[in-house]
Amino acid sequence: MRPQGNKRKSGWRTATIALLALSFGVTAPVHFADAQERYERRSILDFFFGRRTYVDDYPPPPDVERPRPQRKRPPAKPKAVTSAPKPAPVVPQEETVQKLENAQKILIVGDFLASGLGDGMTDAFKTSPGVVIDARGNVSSGLVRDDYYNWPEQLLKMMDEVKPAIVVVMIGANDRQQMAINGDKEKFRTEAWYAEYQKRVLNFGKEVTNRKIPLLWVGLPAFGSDSMTSDAVQMNQLYRKQVESVGGEFVDIWDGFVDEGGQFIVTGSDINGQQVRLRTSDGINLTQAGRRKVAFYVEKPARRILGTQASPDLVRLDTSNLPSLGLPEPNVPHTQPISLSDPNLDGGSELLGAKAPPVSLTKSPRDMLVQDGMVEEAPAGRVDDYRLPAKEPKQVSAK
């Protein structure tokens, strides 16, 4: 059972529909219940003025699918633009200058270490026109096996041929072996071996210093083998003592090839302070950077001995270095040389100082200052007159 209020609303609605149907000229019978169900109104304005929208005229709206929330993708990283690799900067290399005809020669002798030192010294003095490096190292030689290579005999021939200004010796890496002494073979590290080896080092150094040629003896570096390093320390002590006793100079390179604890290193600082490989994988030979580092130690005393001859600014002192101006040579009249003792050059009859200066009766201010230590008083009123003016006596008035 419907409430009464609803009946009134329904009645008013039915009457309104009938009224509208008559106004539009609809003569067909209208079932109010069906009409009520066939359309629906959107609002109160549509009820009076709006267009009818019949439910049956349109199909039911399709099911609208809500868009699924899409996951936000992280922004793509910008692709790196691949470009051609830049060429390495070209480091300008110092050109090897032409050597002078009177260039001083440095003779380097010894074993395979001396051969490497020769490469480093050549690089060190390549810009010095007054210095020539002559390396005569024999790879497998030493002072022990004189039957294989007799260094004292060969050194004399080399000095006669090269006429060096300095002799540099680096030898001993191959000498850790038995030595023949008076027909007997003496083992390495014995007292007899060291005594004989000391004599050979001394005589080898004398061959150089007896000719008044500066001698630089380069010590051995540390090696990868502990036993070789220990022997190198003892042999360096022997080299230093014997070389200095004959007037030579011992060049110690030990610190350049060990760390702070004195241990052997493969990689270390080069002459520019950069970390490079100094030794090869066998722990014995030197790399190119290692050879240059050994030469760095020898270069200092060599430049000190040669002086200005080792300067890179040294040039020839002849007309070959003068620029060609292309001017014609003028006809300059040549006169006969005139003696500097000719008194007629200035019209006088005798040279200056031939006569004694006239004697003055009074002393000059200079003579008074130098001889007597007295300074003449300045005239009164001059700027350097520091005398106080004399005080005038007071006049006493008579009473």
* Same domain for 157 and 34: no
| Range 182-189 contact pairs with CB under 8 angstroms and sequence separation of 24 or more | 189/231
Mean pLDDT (the chain) is: 79
CATH of the domain at 242: 3.40.50.1110
For residues 167 and 389, what is the distance between their CA atoms, to the nearest angstrom? 82
For residue 92, is it within any domain? no
Q: Which of 264, 281, 310 delimits the end of a domain?
A: 310
Q: Output the pLDDT for position 201.
A: 97
Among 259, 282, 310, where does a domain finish? Answer: 310
Q: Say how many domains are in the chain.
A: 2
Neighbours of 219 (CB within 10 A): 21
Q: Is residue 298 part of a domain?
A: yes
Query: Does one domain contain both 117 and 230?
Result: yes
pLDDT at 375: 80
Q: How many CA atoms lie within 13 A of 239 on its CB side?
A: 25
90 belongs to a structural domain: no
Domain assignment present for 85: no
- The pLDDT, as a whole number, for residue 33 is 47
- 61 compared with 160, residue with greater pLDDT: 160
Q: What is the pLDDT of residue 183?
A: 86
Poorest-pLDDT segment among 80-89, 320-329, 385-394 = 80-89
Which residue is it, tokens 């007899």?
Answer: 192
- Domain membership flag for residue 59: no
Statement to judge: residues 258 and 186 lie in one domain: yes
Q: Is the domain of 41 the same as that of 120? A: no
Report the pLDDT value the prediction gives residue 347, as an integer from 0 to 100: 58
Nearest in space to 100 (alpha carbons), one of 127, 135, 118: 127
At 362, the pLDDT band (50, 70, 90 cuts) reads: confident
- Same domain as 303, residue 208: yes
Higher pLDDT, 307 or 43: 307
Q: What is the pLDDT of residue 373?
A: 82
Arithmetic mean of pLDDT, 113-121? 96
- Residue 266 is assigned to a structural domain of this protein: yes
299 in the same domain as 151: yes
Domain check: are 213 and 138 in the same one?
yes
Q: Is residue 250 part of a domain?
A: yes
What is the pTM assigned to this prediction? 0.58
Do 143 and 280 fall into the same domain?
yes
Residue 32: band (very low, low, confident or very high) from pLDDT cuts 50, 70, 90 = very low
Q: How confident is the model at residue 220 (pLDDT cuts 50, 70, 90)?
A: very high
Q: Is residue 149 in a domain?
A: yes
Which domain-ending residue is among 310, 328, 343?
310
Residue 4 in this model has a pLDDT that exceeds 70: no
Residues 35 and 154 in one domain: no
Residue range(s) defining the domain that contains residue 17: 9-48
Q: What is the largest CA-CA distance in the chain?
A: 173
For residue 170, is pLDDT > 60?
A: yes
Q: Are residues 249 and 128 in the same domain?
A: yes
With cut-offs at 50, 70 and 90, classify the pLDDT of residue 182. Answer: confident
Q: Are residues 165 and 29 in the same domain?
A: no
User: Is residue 160 over pLDDT 90?
Assistant: yes
Residues 29 and 109 grouped into a single domain: no
Lowest-confidence region among 38-47, 155-164, 183-192: 38-47
Summarize pLDDT for 287-345 with one digit per residue, the tens.
999 999 999 999 999 999 999 888 887 765 555 555 565 555 666 666 666 666 665 65
- The pLDDT value recorded for residue 228 is 95
